[in-house]
Amino acid sequence: MERAATYIRTDTEGELPGAEQQRAALAAYAEDRGYEVVAGYEDLDAPGVLLYHRPGIKEAIENIKEEEEWEVLLVAHPRAVSDDASAVHELVHKFSLYNNRLECPARSWEEFLADMKAYRRQMARR
């Protein structure tokens, strides 16, 4: 059984689902995929742009660099990571360097990875 962690972010504007709704969606997704959830990170009522201003996502990043307790980080929606596409791509790139993954019910790791690579190619052309 592959080990996973969950990440939940809510926002003050209420544009993201509530924490309980995200927890339920992630539990169902993990069970459906056969993941053992071994850790959870949360940033409740957090702004949605800068990753490094949120303690929960910072802790998840530190885990992949040092502790390696899990292989995949599950989020209920890509916007739970960030409202900014470049921040999502930054996280995906970081995860790919450490052989970890990011997944959600709406987007597979392969889709996250393909989007990140297309974004990096586009930025290199500028």
For 2-125, which CATH class?
Answer: alpha beta
Whole-prediction pTM: 0.93
Residue-wise pLDDT tens digits, 93-107: 999 999 999 999 999
Residue-wise pLDDT tens digits, 54-103: 999 999 999 998 888 999 999 999 999 998 889 999 999 999 999 999 99
pLDDT at 46: 87
**Domain map (residue ranges) of the chain:** 2-125
Q: Which of 20, 113, 15, 93 is nearest to 51 (CA)?
A: 93
pLDDT at 123: 87
Per-residue pLDDT, averaged over 29-53, amounts to 92
Strand arrangement of the beta sheet that strand 101-103 belongs to: 35-43, 2-9, 72-75, 101-103
Amino acid at position 66, single letter: E
